[in-house]
Structure 1
Amino acid sequence: MLALYIRDVRIGIRAGGGALVGVLFFLAVVAVVPFGVGPDLTLLARIGPAILWIGALLASLLGLERLFQADREDGSLDLLMLAAERHPSVLTVFVKCLAHWTTNVLPLVVASPLLGLFMNMEAAAIGATTLTLLVGTPAIAFIGAVGAAVAVALPRGGLLVSILILPLTVPVLIFGVSASYGAVNDPQPFLPPFLILVALTLFFAVIGPLGAALALKHATD
């Protein structure tokens, strides 16, 4: 499994453009907000965590359709499914999700503090938002694996992936933003929504690969 993880990370890096496009899209989402809401720095700081989360969520969707597509095209997906007796397909999907998150989503988390400065956010808000993104964005990858697996046999499944998984990511978005606000707003607690966010990530870490493995098994039969 470690070899599969390293292989997918190397492929993701060599493919080029995926992480950069995601970060640029993330930057574009954050950059256009002041044009829509005006140059009020107080307002930008107040809505900053929500904007960062929405931008990261949308940017995370960009490369999901390629999660299994390349393996499908070169035939390695069939080999991975046939090797289910030695390595469970659920574990294979889990490792591929981690590799995808490392190469495509982790750069968004790394870039979020800088973009938080653009939104005039306080240091505590930037730190809390970055932490919630670090904890919550893996759930998006696990959810996206299901959509990517369903659309793997379709010639143009990219839009379908986004349509399928976007509603499922709403709870992650809600509790991620709530925890970020809780770190800077005294009446709102940070820990309860943060723990729920952790629980959601753990839940989807189990359900997502399981659903994706079943969909891939059906697609390769």
Structure 2
Amino acid sequence: MNREAFQLAPMPEHGNTTNPLWRALWNAYEPVITPLRRMPLIADIDLCGGMYGITAELADYSYLHISTDDVLPTDPNQVRGWLVQRLSDHNPTIRDVVYNSTEAGEHAANGNDHVPLFNAITEFVARRRLGLRLRPTKAVTISGLRSDLFAVEHICDCFPRSMDAIARYSREVNMLRLMGWRPIFQQGGNEWPLSVWVHDGAVVTVAVTLTGWNAERAA
């Protein structure tokens, strides 16, 4: 199964995510933000100078800025058309109009329709190969019951590199084997291994689990 196909790009990392205005705009424009995160692009709400807009990071460190012909209104129902530009804080010569369905724009007939908006963004990102790559962050979990029926649950550190998670999993199951535990079930191969172990009336499950996703840009 391709787990990346069902995942969203991670949330932006900054202090604004607890700002009531940021949260209100994020929730209001969720129908625009979620498809961007599925591309996958790291979406954000730009509050700079009161010129509200939606941004989406691209693999080359440029970004898409999504607004209207004016400030993005706090009520999405007031949007009459979309203006999507590719911009860069590091290279001011990058200023591409990806889509413009505002009154004076090339795609004005589409108005505030989301379908042609996302079709244009998807085509642009795919053609320029500007989408981010998602890498899973993994952990090793140990859970089960002791012989006295006391629950056991432990989550090892998160591992950005898959090989480190697999190495930790191997270390944990080898330790169980040395302590006299016996495996009664194993699956998942070397990608998402899971095994069940028993010893003196106790049972534990050791597994590599998904804890989140990291977004990587192109080299």
Q: TM-score, normalised by structure 1?
A: 0.28
Tell which structure's C-alpha radius of gyration is larger: 2
Higher strand share: 2
Higher helix share: 1
